[in-house]
Amino acid sequence: MGYSLGIYRFLDGELAEPDMDVVRAVLAPVRARPEPADDRDTAYWIRAGDGSEAEVDVHEKVVCVHRPGVGDVWKTIIELTDRLGAAIDLPSGGFLCPEGMRAHLPEGTEEDSVFVPAITLAAFERAAGPFTHPLT
The per-residue pLDDT for range 16-61, each reduced to its tens digit, is 999 999 999 999 999 887 665 456 668 899 999 999 999 999 999 9
Is residue 70 within 8 A of residue 134, CB to CB? The reply is yes
Domains of the chain: 4-128 (3.30.310)
> Position 3: which residue type?
Y
Q: What is the CB neighbour count within 10 angstroms for residue 133? A: 9
Phi and psi for 57 in degrees, rounded to 5?
A: -120, 125
Q: Residue 43, SS3?
A: strand
| Claim: this prediction has a pTM higher than 0.85 | yes
Q: Strand ranges (DSSP E) for 1-136? A: 4-11, 14-16, 43-47, 53-58, 63-66, 87-89, 95-98, 114-116
